[in-house]
Amino acid sequence: MSDVSKIFVNTNMAACGGVVIAIILTQLRYKKADVTMAMNGALAGLVSITAEPLAPTVGQSILIGMIGGAIVVFTVPLLDKLKIDDVVGAIPVHLFAGIWGTLIVAWSNADATFIGQLVGVLLTMVWVGVTSGILWFVLKAVMGLRPSAEVEIAGLDLHETGVEAYPGLANQA
């Protein structure tokens, strides 16, 4: 039962680290805190610790979550610069923080190696790339992939959800 308790504590501490650093960094970078970025910082902390929530100490868990939260703050504007429309910040949270969380497992778990974790990340990338490529090919053939030019210019976040993702922060990097 103590393992479950430690997992609960580490998971929550990673989320806390992610949300706190996201708030601090958005305050420093944009001169204001952003609720959406803060919540994605918490999610990134959760994603970052998910690969190994038992082995880290509480301090390591907080640090792992903080780095996950920082990843979100810096990759959201990068995707904007690259003109990649990510309505809810799923790419920074799940892809980038997920890779971080998988690679850092070897830091706290003696049974894991960095090379082993890297191989797992690379194999996952190959699998997802191939299966996604097939799926997107089928979707393009069946229904098309692009929205209208008007919706694309306004942004899919506003069109699909009714709210602007990261209001006031987009394209300020």
pLDDT value of position 173: 45
pLDDT value of position 95: 96
For the chain, 173 residues long, give each residue's pLDDT as a single digit of tens.
Answer: 599 999 999 999 999 999 999 999 999 999 998 999 999 999 999 999 999 999 999 999 999 999 999 999 999 999 999 989 887 889 999 999 999 999 999 999 999 999 999 999 999 999 999 999 999 999 999 998 888 888 877 777 888 888 877 676 655 54
- So where are the chain's domains? 2-161
Distance between CA 82 and CA 70 in Å, rounded?
A: 19
Give me the helix-helix angle, 2-30 and 35-50, nearest 10°: 140
Q: How far apart are the first and last CA of the chain?
A: 46
Q: How much is the pTM?
A: 0.81
Distance between CA 83 and CA 89 in Å, rounded?
A: 13
pLDDT value of position 109: 96
pLDDT value of position 168: 67
**For residue 118, which amino acid is it?**
L
- Which of 53, 54, 39, 136 is CA-nearest to residue 93? 39
CATH number of 2-161: 1.10.3430.10
